[in-house]
């Protein structure tokens, strides 16, 4: 789908630009920003689990939630910022003259505003949260308006996959995309030259495809671990070193190895980012459930009774008695039959 496909006409937005109008404005604004090197930030915003909320509480509720989300965004922006709804009930906001570090502050403010929203439905109080993808134009190289929105879309997908209620700033998507295209072209050329299977079918390349391909989703990364990527880099480093020693004929191999190392290092960066998000999400869920993840490990060091425990001596004796009773009971049990050796 085109990243700025317009929203339906009965959408929730009243009193702001029409989608067509704002698209034209955004393109003008973006071109101006590129020409004069003005920082510009693009945010793509989605209400978490909106489809489920619509299923549960109906279209009217969905529209009310969207209107409230727009009000939160409006309250956090200036008059000169541009805001429009897109298809799939996402919202696109463009902030001219806004540097990347301010974008993070802005995104946090919007998230905090959304968390405060409350809706009464069927006697229940509902809260909502947002996922936000953030992109900016402060990169080297050319960048089109559509690509900027795609970069934000990438961040939104990662934020959503990580459970929502967060923003993800994406910077390198464009570079990934360019590199992926180059890799694909190179693989095709090699295949044509060799007359065999296209190159790039190795595990590493499949991983790369997963990491940089369409539909970035944490689910896609099942089975990918950092160890594998690091091992691949080590192996390529040895190729690089051998090629450097060989000289002449080794130039191509050296170049190729360096390119692949570059790819793998970017892959690690992405994996690291996703791991961080996943861990944050686990921490958030654990906090919501009132679980302290650290206690299980910490307890190892405070195992047993402290010296100040009340009735310590008596409790120590009781612990020993329980242990000895269990030990004695185990002794009374018939010995366990050895497990049959597993066949090779």
Task: Please give the residue ranges that form the binding site for another protein (CB under 8 A).
Answer: 218, 221-227, 271-272, 274-276, 278-279, 282, 289-293, 295-300, 303-305, 309-311, 314-315, 317-323, 325-327, 329-330, 332-333
Instruction: Give the nearer residue to another protein in terms of CB position, either 62 or 160.
Output: 160
Place of tokens 């996922």: 131
Q: Rank residues 191 and 268 by Cβ distance to another protein and give the closer one.
A: 268
* 209 vs 259 by CB, closer to another protein: 209
Instruction: For tokens 């030259």, name the residue.
Output: 193
Q: How far is the CB of 212 from another protein (least distance, A)?
A: 16
- Cβ at position 168, least distance to another protein in Å: 17
Closer to another protein by Cβ: residue 28 or 226: 226
With beta carbons less than 8 A apart as the criterion, state whether 229 and 271 touch.
yes
Could you tell me the smallest distance in angstroms from the CB atom of residue 240 to another protein?
24
Rounded to the nearest whole angstrom, what is the least distance from the CB of residue 116 to another protein in the complex? 27
Q: Report the residue number, 127 or 276, with the smaller CB distance to another protein.
A: 276
Nearer to another protein, 18 or 323 (CB): 323
**Shortest spacing between CB 275 and another protein, in angstroms:** 6
- Rounded to a whole number of angstroms, the minimum distance from the CB of residue 278 to another protein is 7
Sheet holding 166-169, edge to edge: 82-85, 91-96, 40-47, 130-136, 166-169
Helix axes 145-161, 173-194, angle to 10 degrees: 100
Q: Are strands 130-136 and 118-121 parallel, antiparallel or unpaired?
A: unpaired
Q: How far is the CB of 206 from another protein (least distance, A)?
A: 15
Q: Are 167 and 155 in contact (CB under 8 A)?
A: yes
Contact 161, 219 (CB under 8 A): yes
Between 140 and 328, whose beta carbon lies closer to another protein? 328
Least distance in angstroms from the C-beta of 332 to another protein? 6
Which lies closer to another protein via its Cβ, residue 144 or residue 283?
Answer: 283
């Amino acid at each position: 789908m085109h990243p700025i496909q317009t929203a339906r006409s009965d959408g929730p937005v009243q009193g702001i630009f029409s989608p067509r109008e704002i698209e034209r404005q955004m393109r003008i604004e973006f071109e101006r920003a590129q020409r004069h090197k003005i920082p510009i930030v693009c945010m793509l915003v989605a209400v978490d689990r909106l489809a489920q909320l619509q299923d549960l509480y109906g279209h009217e509720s969905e529209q009310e939630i969207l209107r409230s989300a727009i009000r939160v965004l409006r309250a956090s922006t200036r008059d000169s910022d541009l805001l429009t709804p897109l298809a799939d009930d996402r919202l696109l906001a463009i902030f001219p003259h806004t540097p990347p570090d301010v974008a993070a502050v802005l995104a946090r403010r919007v998230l905090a505003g959304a968390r405060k929203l409350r809706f009464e439905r069927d006697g229940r109080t509902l809260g909502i949260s947002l996922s936000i993808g953030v992109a900016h134009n402060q990169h080297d190289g050319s960048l089109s308006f559509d690509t900027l929105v795609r970069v934000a879309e990438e961040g939104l997908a990662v934020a959503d996959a990580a459970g929502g209620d967060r923003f993800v700033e994406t910077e390198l998507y464009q570079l990934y995309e360019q590199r992926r295209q180059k890799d694909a072209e190179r693989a095709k050329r090699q295949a044509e030259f060799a007359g065999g299977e296209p190159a790039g079918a190795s595990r590493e390349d499949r991983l790369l495809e997963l990491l940089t391909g369409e539909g970035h989703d944490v689910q896609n990364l099942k089975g990918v671990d950092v160890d594998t990527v690091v091992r691949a880099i080590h192996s390529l480093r040895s190729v690089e070193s051998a090629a450097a020693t060989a000289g002449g004929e080794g130039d191509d191999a050296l170049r190729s190895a360096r390119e692949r190392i570059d790819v793998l290092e970017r892959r690690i960066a992405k994996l690291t980012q996703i791991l961080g998000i996943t861990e944050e999400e686990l921490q958030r869920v654990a906090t919501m459930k009132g679980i302290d993840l650290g206690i299980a490990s910490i307890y190892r060091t405070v195992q047993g009774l402290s010296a100040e425990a009340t009735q310590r001596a008596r409790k120590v004796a009781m612990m020993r008695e329980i242990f000895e009773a269990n030990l004695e009971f185990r002794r009374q049990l018939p010995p366990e039959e050895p497990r049959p050796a597993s066949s090779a």
